[in-house]
């Protein structure tokens, strides 16, 4: 019985290793087709701010906005705050095109 369990255990590990190697380049099924991931959008927004000379910013929230009004497009809206956090007093909002992550707009956050 013990030998059979050990053999089954080794076969299971080999099967998992083969599946891991076979699927390592596969498309992420949790990502919607035609848009970048939210983590990538946050990283790209911070990189854009650094390129514009705005250092020490960190992405604190990323939200996806679907196409709403005429002429608008799907986008990632990234809220970035300066480090150490300034309670959003020095925050920037970076809007990126959802499909390729290109910059659409950098603005101050609007307060309602």
Q: In this predicted model, which residue has the larger pLDDT, 3 or 22?
A: 22
Q: Edge-to-edge strands of the sheet including 92-97?
A: 57-65, 75-82, 92-97, 103-107
pLDDT of residue 63: 93
pLDDT, average across residues 32-56: 89
Q: What is the mean pLDDT of residues 68-86?
A: 83
| pLDDT value of residue 89 | 87
> Two tokens at 72?
């608008």
pLDDT range class, residue 85, cuts 50, 70, 90: confident
- The model carries a pTM of 0.69
Report, as an integer, the average pLDDT of 25-34: 73
Higher pLDDT, 28 or 79: 79
Whether residue 70 has pLDDT greater than 60: no
- Domains, the chain, ordered by start: 38-107 (3.10.450.40)
**Does residue 9 sit in helix, strand or coil?**
helix
pLDDT number for residue 69 = 64
């Amino acid at each position: 019985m013990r030998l059979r369990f050990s053999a089954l255990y080794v076969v299971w590990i080999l099967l998992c290793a083969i599946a891991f190697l076979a699927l390592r380049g596969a498309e992420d099924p949790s990502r919607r087709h035609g848009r970048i991931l939210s983590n990538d959008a946050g990283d790209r927004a911070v990189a854009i701010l650094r390129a514009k000379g705005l250092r020490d910013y960190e992405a604190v929230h990323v939200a996806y906005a679907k196409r709403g009004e005429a002429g608008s497009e799907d986008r990632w809206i990234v809220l970035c705050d300066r480090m150490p956090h300034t309670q959003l007093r020095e925050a920037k909002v970076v809007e990126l095109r959802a499909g390729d992550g290109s910059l659409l707009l950098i603005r101050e956050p609007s307060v309602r």
